[in-house]
Chain A
């Protein structure tokens, strides 16, 4: 039985109170967060108050939503009314949101209780979670290694067993890559599947919220809880998800065609990673899949496209941080212009500034066509390439990242090499496809390896049915899990 289901059973059968579980989880965060620095803050008061109300409702015999009392963590770029949301930036250190993000609100409607906000790369810009105002996040498998990013805190929070479920956001791999590095399941839904309302934007046309869990089934529960059309998000999509968690009963891959991009099984991929991915592909073949390598000659172009479009959108999205209405302000500035410039200088970290400048440059007059215009064209080429691939294959499988988690500081002074660690995930965001990273083994140093599965647009159900079957075949052992016995004993 999965963690979310097991906890829900304990709550619904009244063996565990909502407040008891929430207090147990909050205590765990308080005592263990120092190891990884996964959380920036826990929402003690609000979480306990919600749990108390849920207990009261249970005592009154009311029917509660299925996941009442179950804790979740949210990345520090999602708004929750009354709580801080900082995007791990000095800029928003003291900012509290007067409204709640739709995805968080939807999850709360299913009973989930937000227990805290997790660390991240500042404004979600980064692949190692080292660009945080609150310090880097350590990998629960090896505290000297990075957690991956940008949703490193959300990945580490689940991987270290502090919470059974967390929300992250994925712009170029920011859910899947840290999920791969931390050995958990990370799902990026189709663009438009989950509302972005209340998610502090990095790159609007690429951002998508998704869950981290310890199992595919839990990811399905989480997805069902957060998704849905939202009239507050004009890019939100009305395509129905259909039942997923109840349909994870695929027994073989007979008749399924699996495509594997040649370029992502080349020498650019670390040998241990390649070997682990090959082993999974062999298992899928043993389960009846037709596995085939195919040419996917647009990796460099995808990376280039991403590093034009994402900074361009970000440079504009981050213009609202000007020190006028909220956020950091330099109070010594004599004029409005100075105030805006110095506030932004002091409020933003280097990686954010680098991308703002890059984005401003590619949009500036004289360069727009050469960069942004070209990138938009290339983006449709990427989409077309996937459309063609999916006419031949039901799923595309790749390593999630070319390597396992690297040591802290390894790429910090070389932005380009850091950017390359998203080479396998970025094309998926450009096309807006659903994809999932599944832990599939360990390298020679005992660090987790992620297996990325990509499905056609809006086919999360097929994606997760396949992932569930692979998961049962692999039997990956998590390093830590939320200790349910511990929660019961604590009562």
Chain B
């Protein structure tokens, strides 16, 4: 029998705020245990939650970017359960009335659309450090660190539209790209800022009812989602094929073995006793707020992809780099607007190549005005500076040196004057008769050596094309 997998994903993305969802404790990562806390995030008696405005803005941005309907009125609900990492004994979340409904993500490469059911806001739990063993199972005790408790999250719930492990991965990557690009989430998978649960079932092809599903928890890399979904689909198919039945349960994915295993079944079926949090008012988002956020939204990745490939004719690789690197994208956009002679493609070659490397190397933001890079590439296109000079100038320019000063420091612009170049070439030919002989005998590659000598003398300012032409002309076999 042929089986069709049915997969839905729940993505938890941490909103990029400085303070927590309902209190002023910091969200900074990597602090000593229980330093980012307040009466609210410690769940102290008498403490009350107050909503972080920025978190709401970011959630709305996410909703707009994922093509959702932003709800005018959403309700905070308490999800009640006891655990050592949950200080109040309930999580404040949104249940019946989330902030966003509907939505969709297009996976262009796979020609696939995944619908989004809803996005709701909620607070994260704390972290448990298990003592005496690596995992929870063998630990003799655990210690609760509440630095993460109360950090704002959005949970993005997809429809069960995904059919393959590859699609699951592509969907997760796409949502990650969008949220990080618009600045809603820092996207750091290692810190847990972006993680995913997958609901997986299989059914015979042609069947419309869903099979029994399992939920694979805490998939925090693109690779593990692909592997976990693949493994779980195959596991379910082999269970059913051998006459067994799938048990609805929560699974864990082991990155080392690549296998999913059932989590120890929690006591009873959960009854979270959701009810509206009486400490908080309904969250009202006015049409004008939504309009204001919409108008200040950056261009979205899909639109950029389209514009860059069709209008600016940038190579696919460059576009990919920009969509993963918002600051570099911003730099390119700002520079590109000032181009006069060169093409965006010319500029992009330098931005994605040398500039990107320089930024990564120095690890500090660029202080140079973006139009300077446009001017440099323009001059290069006008043959005023050589590509070699561009390469040498960029490390100086990123430190903020004005363009003319940098060029002057190199001795001036490109030398293209024929008479001047001929004098130089003649001098070098006289100094290296052996090399001239080689070229005459057909080893034209040796011209590069002579070119190097001239560049040395001119500090790279000689027009390379002109010099090469002069050398080859002088060394023509007679």
Contact = CB atoms under 8 A, between A and B. Distances in A.
Contact of A319 (B50, B82, B281): B82
A190 to B, nearest CB: 16
A196 B144 contact: no
Interface in B66-110: 78, 80, 82-84, 87-90
Interface in B32-57: 39, 42-51
A231 B50 contact: yes
A268 interface: no
A477 interface: no
Contacts of A198: 46-47
Contact of B42 (A92, A325, A368): A325
A325 B78 contact: no
Contacts of B50: 231-234
B275 A363 contact: yes
Contact of A200 (B46, B80, B90): B46
A197 interface: yes
B42 to A, nearest CB: 6
Contacts of A466: none
Contacts of A200: 45-46
A204 B278 contact: yes
Interface residues of A, number: 46
A291 interface: no
A254 to B, nearest CB: 40
B264 interface: no
B279 interface: yes
Nearest to B40: A232
B47 A363 contact: no
B45 A320 contact: yes
A290 B88 CA distance: 50
B113 interface: no
A319 B45 contact: no
Find the residue from A97, A234, A372 having the highest chain B CB count within 10 A: A234
A312 B275 contact: yes
A319 B88 contact: yes
A364 interface: yes
A97 B82 contact: no
B280 interface: yes
Interface in A301-332: 312-313, 315-316, 318-322, 324-326
A422 to B, nearest CB: 19
Contacts of B83: 336
A471 B82 CA distance: 50
Contact of A320 (B43, B142, B280): B43
Contacts of A234: 48-51, 279-281
Contacts of A313: 278
Interface string A74-99: 00011100000101000010010111
Nearest to A92: B45
B271 interface: yes
B39 A98 contact: yes
A322 B82 contact: yes
B273 interface: yes
A246 B78 CA distance: 43
A316 B87 contact: no
Interface in A234-256: 234-235
Contacts of A315: 80, 273
Given A97-B45, A319-B88, A324 B144 contact: yes
A234 B21 CA distance: 13
Contacts of B275: 312, 316, 363, 368, 372
Nearest to B38: A99
B89 A97 contact: no
Contacts of A459: none
Nearest to B50: A234
B82 to A, nearest CB: 5
Contacts of B45: 79, 85, 87, 92, 95, 97, 200-201, 320
Contact of B89 (A92, A232, A316, A326): A316
Contacts of A325: 42-43, 87, 144
Nearest to A95: B45
A316 B80 contact: yes
Contact of A99 (B44, B82, B89): B44
Nearest to A100: B46
A326 B278 CA distance: 24
A97 B48 contact: no
B88 A320 contact: yes
Given A316-B78, A336-B84, A336-B142, A322 B281 contact: no
A229 to B, nearest CB: 12
Given A316-B275, A325-B87, A365-B273, A197 B46 contact: yes
A203 B275 CA distance: 13
A360 B273 contact: yes
A250 B51 CA distance: 42
Nearest to A313: B278
Interface string B269-313: 001010100111100000000000000000000000000000000
A101 B83 CA distance: 27
A363 B273 contact: yes
B46 A101 contact: yes
B128 to A, nearest CB: 10
A199 interface: yes
A205 interface: yes
From B42, B46, B49, B267, residue with most partner A Cβ within 10 Å: B46
A28 to B, nearest CB: 28
B46 A201 contact: yes
Contact of B87 (A78, A235, A320): A320
A340 interface: yes
B83 to A, nearest CB: 8
Contacts of B80: 315-316, 319, 363
Contact of B279 (A95, A101, A204, A231): A204
Interface string A360-389: 100111001000100000000000000000
A363 B272 CA distance: 9
A79 B44 CA distance: 10
A365 B271 contact: yes
B88 A235 contact: no
B90 A319 contact: yes
Nearest to A195: B48
A74 to B, nearest CB: 12
Interface in A156-207: 196-201, 203-205
Given A313-B278, A325-B87, 9 more contacts: A99-B44, A201-B45, A316-B80, A319-B90, A320-B88, A336-B83, A336-B84, A336-B142, A364-B271
20 contacts: A77-B46, A97-B46, A98-B39, A99-B46, A196-B46, A197-B47, A199-B46, A234-B48, A234-B50, A234-B279, A234-B281, A235-B279, A320-B87, A320-B88, A321-B89, A322-B82, A322-B84, A324-B87, A337-B82, A363-B273
Ranked nearest first, the 3 interchain pairs of A and B with the lowest CB-CB distance are A319-B89, A205-B278, A363-B273
Interface of A: 77-79, 85, 87, 92, 95, 97-99, 101, 196-201, 203-205, 231-235, 312-313, 315-316, 318-322, 324-326, 336-337, 340, 360, 363-365, 368, 372
